[in-house]
Amino acid sequence: MRRFKECTVAVFSTLLLILCMAAQADEAALPDVELSAQEEAEVEAMVLPVPDAWIGDFDGMREYRLVRVLVPYSRTFFSVNRGRQQGISYEFGKALETWLNKTHPYERKSLQWRVLFIPVARNELMPKLLEGVGDIAAGGLTITEGRLQTVDFAEPFASGIREAVITGPGSKPLSKIEDLAGREVMVRASSSYFEHLINLNKTFKERGLEPINVTPADENLESEDLLEMVNAGLIGTTVVDRYIAEAWSPLYTEMQIHDEFYIHEGSQFAWAIRKGSPLLKKELAAFVKLHKVGTGFGNSLRNKYVKNSKRVLNATSEEEMKKFQAMVGLFQKHAGTYAFDHLMLMAQGFQESQLNQSARSPRGAVGVMQLLPSTATDPAVGIHGVDKSADKNIEAGSKYMRLLADKYLNDPELTPLNKTLMTFAAYNAGPGNLRKFRRLAEKSGLNPNVWFGNVEHTAARIVGRETVDYVGNIYKYYVAYKLAAKKTGNAR
């Protein structure tokens, strides 16, 4: 009996040790919530100084040898890829820096003018300019009467800009502007396109025509994002400046630029500056004269920034909607269990595998949610059979998403949308990198609780465009799924 008790104690001791080791392994499977000292140092090394808010004219900028340019994140105008800045606004800004050092040199050659780019969300461009966070707001801004009420503009880089209608594959033909009557056109409400379409509707009403269904696009979507969605057939029609559509046309070959008519002609795009800045306006006039579109410099930028990033696909085509209908019940079930929007998780599943349970990656990820079987069977997730069952695969992906969200994004200041977007980033780049993204955003004067226009900037600096494109594509699919659900009256 004593020997039996000793054996029993030994067995239970061994089991207890194994359970403790398993628990430790479970805790070690994911990095700590807080950054290590080494990781903090890595982030600190990437922090760029953000000057204090200041309001003044060119004479004050000369004193500080600094011009601050506010820019929104945009593949056309400004982006960062592993620390390398690029885009049309970046090129114009660096040209301004060179020009200032030539035309306004300091006696001491060690003193040089600097142009500092400060990324902000597009809807924060004007407020931040007025608050003195920047001296110039850039990003393809069109001069409009509404904007002139609050800010001034430098001389335009381009004039005679035409706002063109862009349609996707399978769209009804357009030959005249009246063909837009009753048609859905998606543009951002903050854009000049929206303003001009509303004015066009007034004309249509006077003529007894059916109004254009002007649908506000998500403000997180840039013009090139809407072009990408039109090209993929996710949305039917949009309006953009023709030069932007032309620049992206080699990449987005399925979209059609309509030159039969234009929504508006004669627009100008320029840098916005604060009112009461006559000295800065005078200097920028001299600079723009040598660098605007039509000069050698201006023309050299054409098409330079059209890169073949991972394009979105048509998640709402007839074939793909059959997959949607087959899987939506599973996503509703598991998204409900783990407190996610099921359309968000479906959009992630489409980005990962096009909702294909048979998908396999070279790195061993399997199924709809492209999970490693080892991740799914880890005690923290504890789900087997993800390689064979779409149900198990979606359950494991949903549970892992919840694990990441609860451990690394347990912050009451995060909105549900931003919490989900950052969880996608952790799913793609790893939670360790997500911590770095947010810490660098905080130290760089960006909002660590907002993905678009903020944390996405620092993600691109640290790991490049992959995670930015990953989250961005999921969001585009989500918007498309919501539109499809709205049109059919339900999500099934």
Instruction: In whole angstroms, give the CA distance from residue 384 to residue 387.
Output: 8
Q: Which residue has the tokens 């349970």?
A: 357
Instruction: In whole angstroms, give the CA distance from residue 5 to residue 451.
Output: 59
Q: DSSP H helical segments within 134-241, as ranges? A: 145-148, 192-206, 223-232
Average pLDDT over residues 76-92: 83
What tokens appear for 3 in the block?
């020997």
123 secondary structure, DSSP code = G
* H helix or E strand, kind and range, residue 296: helix 296-300
Average pLDDT over residues 114-124: 86
Average pLDDT of the chain is: 87
pLDDT at 368: 95
Q: At what angle do helices 416-429 and 465-488 cross, to 10 degrees?
A: 130
Q: At what angle do helices 342-353 and 318-337 cross, to 10 degrees?
A: 130
Nearest to 240 by CA among 192, 302, 312: 192
Cα dist from 444 to 188, 436, 461, whole Å: 28, 12, 12
Q: What is the pLDDT of residues 128-170, one digit of tens each?
A: 999 999 999 998 898 988 899 999 999 999 899 999 999 999 8
The angle subtended at Cα 214 by Cα 208 and Cα 217, nearest 5°, is 180
How crowded is residue 215: how many other Cβ atoms within 10 Å of its Cβ? 18
What tokens appear for 436 in the block?
């770095």
Check the CA dihedral 351-354-357-362 and report its sign. Answer: negative
Beta pairing, strands 256-258 & 158-167:
antiparallel
pLDDT at 205: 96
238 secondary structure, DSSP code = E
Please give the model's pTM, rounded to 2 decimal places.
0.75
How crowded is residue 15: how many other Cβ atoms within 10 Å of its Cβ? 10
The confidence band for 311, taking pLDDT boundaries of 50, 70 and 90, is low
Nearest to 480 by CA among 354, 312, 322: 312
- In this predicted structure, the answer to whether residue 16 has a pLDDT above a threshold of 70 is no
The confidence band for 336, taking pLDDT boundaries of 50, 70 and 90, is very high
Instruction: In whole angstroms, give the CA distance from residue 410 to residue 405.
Output: 7
Domains of the chain with CATH codes: 58-156+270-300 (3.40.190.10), 158-268 (3.40.190.10), 318-488 (1.10.530.10)
Q: Between residues 484 and 384, which one has the greater pLDDT?
A: 384
Q: Which amino acid is at 70?
A: L
Nearest to 220 by CA among 232, 212, 211, 229: 229
